[in-house]
């Protein structure tokens, strides 16, 4: 059987990177006045030349196509992965990747904080037909300002080696209603399982810009924004996606830590 251009690690079928992004997860060693002052200063420096997306609401801005969104966690957790412990995050986007390498937040913060960076890239949808576009993308929630859509959920994840061993055509079935080949029963698939969130949860999918199945990296970073009243919808959608009877795709998902916080104007 023709297996397209896949070579088992998914990288044969990699899409083109259209927009690059970097998530900077910052964990302050001591959350005191000195550390916060240093953080504020670092934030001001890295934001130079980037359009602050706090008031971004989907309308293309004419000032810059490079954006920055500052985020703050209400209750960072004590853990050593550099993600859940992060009280502060900056999310930067640009079409010109070297711009992101110039961001020297680690050096600017010095000893007051540790920083974990995760790179991502927007790509064209890979499994979306015209019909799926009509269903899941055309009515999708538009970006709102940070006042209206204050909540952010960032969930990095990877797929298993077995997922990437399948051809793109085999993989695409998991996003549509289909018959689960393991149980022989009808499954709604990813898009219909997530239907409740289409109009209320703003979503972005960032691919690892350097390829999939890379050691100690994630294949994807999923990013969501929503209003307070829709946080519950997000939980319902995430639970529906995790239900392998409705969404057999999740058998192949390795979830990373889920970071939650709020959009803020500055650190």
Where does this chain bind ligand HEM (CB under 6 A)? 125-128, 132, 136, 155, 157, 159, 175, 190-191, 194, 197-198, 201, 203, 205, 220, 222, 237-238, 241
Helix (H, G, I), strand (E, B) or coil at 98: helix
CA distances from 230 to 152, 201, 257, 262 (A): 11, 7, 21, 14
DSSP category for residue 135: I
CA-closest candidate to residue 28, choices 11, 44, 40, 10:
40
CA-closest candidate to residue 10, choices 123, 116, 97:
123
DSSP category for residue 197: G
Angle CA 229–230–235, to nearest 5: 125
Nearer to ligand HEM, 64 or 239 (CB): 239
C-beta of 173: minimal distance to ligand HEM in Å? 12
C-beta of 210: minimal distance to ligand HEM in Å? 16
Nearer to ligand HEM, 112 or 198 (CB): 198
Q: How far apart are CA 198 and CA 195, in angstroms?
A: 5
C-beta of 187: minimal distance to ligand HEM in Å? 15
Closest residue to bound ligand HEM by CB = 197
Q: Residue 89: in which H helix or E strand, if any?
A: strand 88-94
C-beta of 49: minimal distance to ligand HEM in Å? 30
C-beta of 141: minimal distance to ligand HEM in Å? 8
Nearer to ligand HEM, 41 or 134 (CB): 134
Nearer to ligand HEM, 51 or 220 (CB): 220
Nearer to ligand HEM, 24 or 201 (CB): 201
């Amino acid at each position: 059987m023709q297996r397209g251009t896949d070579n088992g690690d998914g990288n044969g079928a990699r899409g083109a990177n259209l927009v690059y992004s970097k998530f900077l997860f910052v964990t302050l060693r001591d959350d005191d006045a000195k550390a916060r002052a240093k953080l504020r200063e670092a934030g001001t420096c890295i934001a130079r030349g980037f359009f602050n997306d706090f008031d971004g609401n989907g309308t293309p801005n004419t000032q810059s196509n490079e954006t920055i969104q500052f985020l703050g966690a209400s209750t960072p957790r004590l853990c050593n992965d550099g993600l859940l412990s992060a009280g502060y995050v900056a999310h930067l986007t640009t079409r010109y990747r070297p711009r992101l390498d110039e961001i020297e937040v680690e050096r600017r913060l010095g000893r007051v904080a540790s920083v974990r960076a995760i790179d991502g890239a927007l790509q064209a949808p890979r499994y979306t037909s015209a019909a799926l576009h009509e269903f899941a993308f055309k009515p999708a929630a538009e970006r709102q300002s940070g006042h209206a859509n204050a909540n952010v959920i960032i969930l990095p994840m990877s797929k298993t080696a077995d997922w990437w061993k399948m051809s793109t055509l085999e993989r695409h079935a998991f996003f549509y209603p289909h018959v689960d080949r393991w149980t022989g029963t009808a499954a709604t698939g990813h898009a219909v399982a997530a239907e409740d969130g289409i109009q209320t949860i703003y979503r972005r999918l960032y691919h690892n810009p350097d390829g999939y199945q890379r050691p100690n990296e994630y294949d994807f970073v999923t990013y969501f924004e929503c209003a307070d009243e829709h946080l519950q919808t997000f939980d319902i959608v995430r639970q529906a996606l995790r239900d392998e009877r409705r969404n057999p795709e999740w058998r192949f998902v390795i979830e990373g830590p889920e970071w939650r916080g709020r959009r803020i104007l500055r650190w």
